[in-house]
Amino acid sequence: MVGSETATESSVEWWPMIGLKNLLSHTLKSSNCVPQHIGFIMDGNRRYARKTGQAVRAGHEAGFVSMSKILELCYESGVNTATVFAFSIENFKRSEHEVKALMELAKERIRQLTEHGELAHKYDIRIRVIGEISLLDEDLLEELLKTTEMTKNNKRAVLNICFPYTGREEILHSIKNIISEGIDSKSIDESVVESHLYTGGLPPLDLLIRTSGVSRLSDFMLWQSCRKSTVIEMVDCLWPEFGPARIAWILLKFAFKKSFSSNTTSLEDEDEDEEQLDEAKDGSNRFESSKSFENDFKYANKMEKFQ
């Protein structure tokens, strides 16, 4: 979604953009080098609303439209699991009006994911709602459970909706489950803790993307993102502005790096050590900025205005 278009308007995709999207997704899928698990910190909905002179709810609605388009391209490209940070436990500290609006919007949009042949049916997606769901109102919780029940037999892919969630609570949840199962402390190692996380049994996190230009994890997938092989991308745009062209560029970069390094594991480790030394000298960190994307894909972004 670009400009002042609202989430309630019908989305009309111009044919060149559809063709480009199909070409990219086919290329990525045939490469067999796409990330199998992607996490999204969908930041910037409120700032987008202020930027475009709209109500806060409209910003969140625009964020949902963006999420749907991004997930479509991911699943078409062969991604197995997507985990989206929809609502933090810390967000309950926001104004009562905004929290209530978010809960109502969540109820509507989660229902939409399973109705009328949309995302879940089209891509055979099992929807999971993970987090401290006991904090939710009864009517919303009922809707969430209905959605997960309807999609529980879908096999092609998984969508984890973190709602409400924090990474610290997830680790605490894992520890509590381990204790409740009476597992001998001598038998507890990292693999046991990992298997009891909300994402236990799913592919490890390959790629973590955060929008809005902020370089922090905001208590999201803290355990999973610590893997050496996890790539973290910090994108300098607001979530509703993060369209298919941007995610395609990131997926292409990921696929190229994975393909190029697949047969040179030892060299890759050496390169990583050298890169870490260079980063330390430069005073940088492991987060990669995608700011240069604006120039690389300027034409593709213009195409998105026709969506």
Q: Which residues pair with 83 in a beta bridge?
A: 39, 160
- Whether 287 maps to a domain, the answer reads no
Confidence of residue 265 (pLDDT cuts 50, 70, 90): low
Residue 63 in any domain: the answer is yes
- The answer to whether residue 185 sits within a structural domain is yes
Parent domain of 51: 28-256
**Averaged pLDDT for residues 258-285:** 56
DSSP H or E stretch at residue 300: helix 298-304
**CATH number of the domain encompassing residue 144:** 3.40.1180.10
> Which residues lie below 8 Å from residue 291, measured CB to CB, with a gap of 6+?
213, 236
> 275 in a domain, yes or no?
no
Largest CA distance in the chain: 60
pLDDT tens-digit readout, 110-149: 888 877 557 898 899 999 999 999 999 998 999 899 999 9
Query: pLDDT tens across 182-240, in order?
Result: 999 999 999 999 999 999 999 999 999 999 999 999 999 999 999 999 999 999 999 99
Q: Which helix (H) or strand (E) holds 278?
A: helix 265-282
Cα–Cα distance list, 150 to 25, 112, 125, 146, 224 (Å): 27, 12, 10, 6, 28
Q: Give the model's pLDDT for residue 171.
A: 98
Q: State the sign of the Cα–Cα–Cα–Cα dihedral 198, 202, 207, 212.
A: negative
At CB < 8 A and 24+ separation, what contacts does 59-64 make? 59/240, 60/101, 60/102, 60/105, 61/6, 61/7, 61/8, 61/105, 62/1, 62/5, 62/6, 62/7, 62/240, 63/239, 63/240, 64/7, 64/105, 64/109
Residue 174 placed within a domain:
yes
On whether residue 176 sits in a domain, the answer given is yes
Is residue 223, in this structure, part of any structural domain at all? yes
* Domains identified in the chain, total number: 1
Could you read off the pLDDT of 64-97 as tens digits, one per residue? Answer: 999 999 999 999 999 999 999 999 999 999 999 9
65 in a domain, yes or no? yes
pTM, two decimal places? 0.81
Q: What is the C-alpha separation between 162 and 164, in angstroms, rounded?
A: 6
- Burial class, 20, CB count within 10 angstroms (exposed 0-12 / middle 13-18 / buried 19+): middle
